[in-house]
Amino acid sequence: MLVYDVLIIGGGVSGVSCAQVLGSAAKKTFMEGKSIGIVMHQKASMLQDAVFNNAFGIEPGTLGSDLLAQAKENLRIYSNITQIEGEKVSKVSRNHEGLFTVETNKSIYLARMVVVAVNSSATFAIEGLMDYVEPHKKSIPTKNRIQLKNIDHFVAEGIYVAGTLAGHRSQLAIAAGSGAAVATDILTLWNDGIETHSHDSIRK
């Protein structure tokens, strides 16, 4: 059974941003053999009803639903990323080998690390992660939002959180940056703790 080096839960802005940065680093020597999966569950994404006029680099009037569809297409350029569609994660646990077992409504996956990047709705119900749930620290209490307890996106050994679920405000640029930050932390970990990131450039 395939073991993902990272399995990202959530195909919204922060999850896709994390996947893009990990995918774009594929040519780095420490990335050899690394596999990344992303569960593209988006039905509850806050982008579904959004329209963007104030997001850097995005044409004003762009619909969030169109942005989500384009994001899925953009991920296809990275051969080390597998998109898992039509599934919703219900449970995350560790097995006797120290790997994460991620259960969905249709299948079971194994991963060495997990990035949780779903939204901050109080309906969050992933078994195995509920002990980390706390009230959202930057949201209005009446909105009843939650977050996962974390320090700079780090929840527990092998578990990261990104986006509004990490305690950030709901803004596209913030969510994208949060996902990218998690990805660079993972890249640094894989690079034996030496700080690294992934940039594309027109320079030779």
* pLDDT digits 0-9 by tens, 117-153: 999 999 999 999 999 999 999 999 999 999 999 999 9
* pTM over cut 0.75: yes
- Cα angle vertex 115, ends 109, 117, to 5°? 110
151-167 residue pLDDT tens: 999 999 999 999 999 99
**Residue 192: which residues within 8 A CB-CB, separation 6 or more?**
30
* Euclidean distance between CA atoms 182 and 56, whole angstroms: 20
Q: How far apart are CA 76 and CA 81, in angstroms?
A: 8
Residue written as tokens 């249709």?
106
d(CA 55, CA 10): 21
pLDDT tens per residue, range 66-100? 888 888 899 999 999 999 999 999 999 999 899 99
Checking DSSP bridges between strand 51-52 and strand 146-148, what pairing results, if any?
Answer: unpaired
